[in-house]
Amino acid sequence: MNSFKPLYDTEEIKKVRLGPFYKYYPDAEKEVKHLEYDSFLLDMNSNEKKIKTHEIAMKIAQTGVLRVEELRDQPLLFLSKLMNLIKLDMNVLAKFVIHYQLFGGTILELGTEYHHKIYFDDINKMKIVGGFAMTEMGHGSNVRNIETIARYDFQTQEFVIDSPTPSSTKFWIGNTSRYGTHVVLFCRLIFNNEDKGVHGIIVNIRDMETKEIRPGIELGDCGPKIGWNGIDNAWIRFSNFRAPRLNLLSRFASITESGEYITKLSSPGKLFQITISQLVMGRMLYIVGPPAYLNVAIKNTFRYAMQRRQFGEKEKPEELLINYPTHYQTLIPMISNVFALEFSRNVIVERFPESKMPDKADSYNAIIGGVKATVAEYAIQSISKLRTMCGGNGFSAYSLFGYMRDELEVFQTAEGDGTVLFQQLTKHLLVEYRKWYKKEGVKGYIIKEVQSFLDTSNPYYTHSRSIPYLISDEFHLHAFVFRFEKQRSILITKLSLLKSKGLTFTQSWNESLLDIQKLARYYTQLFCLESSYLCVKKCVDPGSRSVLSNIVKLYALTNIENDFGFYRNANFLSAGKALAISDAIRDLCVQLKPFIFELMEESFGLTFPDVPIGSTSYIKNMSERVGIPPYSSKL
C-alpha cells in the first residue's frame, strides 16, 4: 500500500474544520478551562443521574460562564463554550441548553427589555431554573394544534390558564419535574372569546422559597427514557392557574393595561411563525453536537483498531484490525462524512443572521431542518456501527458508544421530527421552484431539461470512467445536482398525477411522502457538498487544501455509491462507470489511510478522558479501570 504522507498544515485544517468557531475557540477555552468537571455519568439510575446532573450544572452556572445575552451578542462564543464543554456529561449540557437557550433564549427573542431586566441575572446564575413548555401529550411536532389555553381576565389583568383535555397535558417538559422554577408556556390566547393563536407566557411554577408547586398546577415526572435521564422531564396540567398580564412575552403581541390586544403582525399565523422560528437556534445546537461525538467515537475505534490484532497469516503475528478493508473502508468514508457535516454546520452557523432576514429566513429555516435531521440520524447509525467494530470491548459502557448513542437519541425527534423537517424542506424547495418556473417560463424550463438530457444521454458521459474525471468535483457536483433535480421532477410529476386523479393537495402530498423525504435528503446532501467546496476553498495552504479536497471527493463518491440504484435507474451511470466509482473509493481510502486518522485527531483534538479503547493501551487502561492488578509473571 502507498504510505505517502502529503504535506499539510494541521492548524490550517483545524481552521477550516472549525470555520466560524475558530476565532472564538481560544476565548471559549479560556473561560471554560478552569472549571472542574466530573467524568461521564455512567451506570446510574435516573434518580441518581438527576441529582448529579443538577449538582454539576448549578456549580458551573454559578461561575457565570454562560449568559443568555450572549445568544444575541456573541452567539458563536456561546456555542464555542458549549463545544468546549463536551467533556461534561451530555445531561449537564442538555440542562444548559434547555435552560439558557430554550427558556432564556425565548424570553430574549419573544420578550421585551422589561422581561430581560427582571429575569436575566437570575437565569444566568440559575437561581431561576427554566423549562420550555410546548409539547403536549397529543401534539409534538404539530405545535400549531396545541390545546392549552390562557383566557385573559380583564378584571384582574391576568391570564387564566387551563388544560382543557387529557391530551392537552404538557409532556416532556425538561428541567421541570424536580428542579424547575419557571417555564415559558406555549398556549392559545383566548382574548375576548377570540382565539388569538399560540403565545408564550412566563409561568412561575414553584414557590421560590419553599419550592412547593404552586396551586392550580399539577405536575410530575415523565419517567425514565432512552437517554437524558439526568433531565427532569415533566408532565404539567393547569387548572384555573393565574399568571399576571406582564408575563406575556410581548415583543410581537401585547395586552395593554387598558385591555387592548396590540400586534403589528397581520394574523395569528404570522405570530405563530415568528414564535416558532425561535426553535432555529435550538436546531443549530442540534447540528453541533452529533458530529463532535462522532469524531470521538471514530477516534476511539481507530485507536483500538491500531492495537487489536485478530487472525492473520499462520506463524506470524495476527493482523491489526485497521488493516482489514471491513475496517478502513468503513472508517475513512465515515470521516469524510463527518467533515462534510462539519462544513455544512459551518455554513449554517455563518449564515445564522439570515434566520432574521424576512427574505431569507424561510430558506434558512428549511435547510437547517434538513441538516439537523440528517446529522442526528447519521451520527447514531454510525456510532452503532463503530461499537460493533470494536467487538466485545465496544460493548463496555466505558467505550462510550452506548452513552453517545443514547444521549444523542432524542436529537432525532426533539425540536422537529426528521420526517416533519424533511417535509418542510421539500415544501420550501417546491415553492422556490415554482418561483423560478414563473420567472423563466416554459422556455427556460425546456432549455434546462434539454441541457440535462444532453448531459446524461450522452453515452460518452454515462460511460466515461477515466479516474481524473471520476474524482473531479465537476462530476460530483453534477451528480448531486442531477439527483436532486431528477427527484424533484419525479415528485412534481407524481403530485400532478395524483391531483389529476381527484385527490386533494393534502392527499397527494401524503401519498407522495416517500418521494418527498427523498427529495429533502438529496437536497441536504447537495447542500453538504456545496458547503464543503465553500469551506475548502477558504483554505490558503495548498497542501492542506488538496488533502481536504480529497476527503470531500470521498464523501461525494461514497454518497453516489450508496445510491447506485437511483443513478442507474435514471441512466446517469453505466454499469461500468458505477464499478469504476467503487474502485475509485477504495483507492481514495488506501491513499488516505496512512495519515487521515492522525490528521483528524490533530486538527480537532476532542478527547474524552479515560476511554480504555481510545488510550494507547486498552489492555492496560481497561485493567486499571476495572481493577485488574498490574501483572507480574510468576511462571
Is residue 575 within the footprint of its own copies (CB under 8 A)? yes
CB-CB neighbours of 627 under 10 Å: 6
CA 185-187-193 angle, to 5 degrees, is 140
Is residue 223 within the footprint of its own copies (CB under 8 A)? yes
Binders of its own copies in range 492-511 (CB under 8 A): 504, 506-507, 510-511
CB-CB neighbours of 132 under 10 Å: 28
| Binding pattern for the stretch 343-382 against its own copies, x by CB under 8 A and - elsewhere | -------------------------------------xx-
Is residue 312 within the footprint of its own copies (CB under 8 A)? yes
Q: C-alpha cell of 126?
A: 440559575
Binders of its own copies in range 134-163 (CB under 8 A): 135, 137-138, 140-142, 145, 162
Distance CA 566, CA 15 (A): 36
Is residue 394 within the footprint of its own copies (CB under 8 A)? yes
Closest CA relative to residue 554, chosen from 519, 578, 589, 530: 589
Return the HEC string of 450-471.
HHHHHHHHCHHHHHCCCHHHHC
Nearest approach, Cβ of residue 522 and its own copies (Å): 16
- From start to end of 398-529, where are the E strands? none
Is residue 570 within the footprint of its own copies (CB under 8 A)? yes
Is residue 563 within the footprint of its own copies (CB under 8 A)? yes
Q: Which is nearer to its own copies, 12 or 232 (CB)?
A: 232
Residue 135 annotated in ligand binding: yes
Is residue 610 within the footprint of its own copies (CB under 8 A)? no
- The answer to whether 94 and 31 have CB atoms below 8 angstroms apart is no
Which of 7, 306, 513, 540 forms a contact with its own copies (CB under 8 A)?
513
Nearest approach, Cβ of residue 462 and its own copies (Å): 12
Q: Which is nearer to its own copies, 256 or 388 (CB)?
A: 388
CB-CB neighbours of 315 under 10 Å: 5
Region near its own copies per CB under 8 A, out of 166-174, 272-280, 349-357, 598-606: 166-174
Binders of its own copies in range 169-188 (CB under 8 A): 169, 171-172
- The answer to whether 340 and 555 have CB atoms below 8 angstroms apart is yes
Region near its own copies per CB under 8 A, out of 17-25, 68-76, 574-582, 600-608: 574-582
Nearest approach, Cβ of residue 337 and its own copies (Å): 18
- The answer to whether 628 and 38 have CB atoms below 8 angstroms apart is no
Nearest approach, Cβ of residue 564 and its own copies (Å): 3
For residue 301, which amino acid is it?
Answer: T
Q: Looking at the chain, how many residues does it have? A: 635
Q: What are phi and psi of 207, to 5 degrees?
A: -60, 130
Is residue 412 within the footprint of its own copies (CB under 8 A)? yes
Is residue 621 within the footprint of its own copies (CB under 8 A)? no
- What lies within 8 Å, CB to CB, of 630 at 6+ separation is 623
| Binding pattern for the stretch 248-267 against its own copies, x by CB under 8 A and - elsewhere | --------------------
Q: Which is nearer to its own copies, 477 or 619 (CB)?
A: 619
Q: Which is nearer to its own copies, 119 or 304 (CB)?
A: 304
* Binding residues with its own copies: total (CB under 8 A): 105
Nearest approach, Cβ of residue 215 and its own copies (Å): 13
Residue 174 annotated in ligand binding: yes
Question: Hey, is 222 helix, strand or coil?
Answer: coil
Closest CA relative to residue 332, chosen from 536, 593, 528: 593
Is residue 569 within the footprint of its own copies (CB under 8 A)? yes
Catalytic annotation, residues: 415
- 152, with CB counted inside 10 A (0-12, 13-18, 19+), is buried
Is residue 397 within the footprint of its own copies (CB under 8 A)? yes
Q: Which is nearer to its own copies, 26 or 220 (CB)?
A: 220
Is residue 609 within the footprint of its own copies (CB under 8 A)? no
Which of 110, 578, 600, 611 forms a contact with its own copies (CB under 8 A)?
578
- The answer to whether 160 and 151 have CB atoms below 8 angstroms apart is yes
Binders of its own copies in range 84-103 (CB under 8 A): none
Is residue 221 within the footprint of its own copies (CB under 8 A)? yes
Q: Which is nearer to its own copies, 14 or 151 (CB)?
A: 151
Nearest approach, Cβ of residue 548 and its own copies (Å): 26
Pairing relationship of beta strands 182-191 and 130-133 according to DSSP bridges: parallel
According to DSSP, residue 98 is labeled I
Nearest approach, Cβ of residue 399 and its own copies (Å): 9
For residue 148, which amino acid is it?
Answer: T
Is residue 418 within the footprint of its own copies (CB under 8 A)? yes
Which of 114, 154, 395, 445 forms a contact with its own copies (CB under 8 A)?
395
- The answer to whether 126 and 62 have CB atoms below 8 angstroms apart is yes
Give the up-direction half-sphere exposure of residue 14: CA atoms within 13 A in the CB hemisphere.
15
Q: What are phi and psi of 153, to 5 degrees?
A: -100, 105
CA 106-185-264 angle, to 5 degrees, is 60
Give the up-direction half-sphere exposure of residue 563: CA atoms within 13 A in the CB hemisphere.
21
Is residue 214 within the footprint of its own copies (CB under 8 A)? no
Q: C-alpha cell of 345?
A: 454546520
Is residue 465 within the footprint of its own copies (CB under 8 A)? no
Q: Which is nearer to its own copies, 85 or 404 (CB)?
A: 404
Region near its own copies per CB under 8 A, out of 31-39, 200-208, 314-322, 602-610: 314-322
Binders of its own copies in range 8-47 (CB under 8 A): 42-46
Question: Hey, is 357 helix, strand or coil?
Answer: coil
State the sign of the Cα–Cα–Cα–Cα dihedral 500, 502, 507, 513. Answer: negative
Which of 27, 69, 319, 587 forms a contact with its own copies (CB under 8 A)?
319
Q: How far is CA 61 from CA 55, 58, 65, 97, 102, in A?
A: 10, 5, 6, 12, 16
Q: Which residues are annotated as a binding site for FAD?
A: 135, 174
Q: Which residues are annotated as a binding site?
A: 135, 174
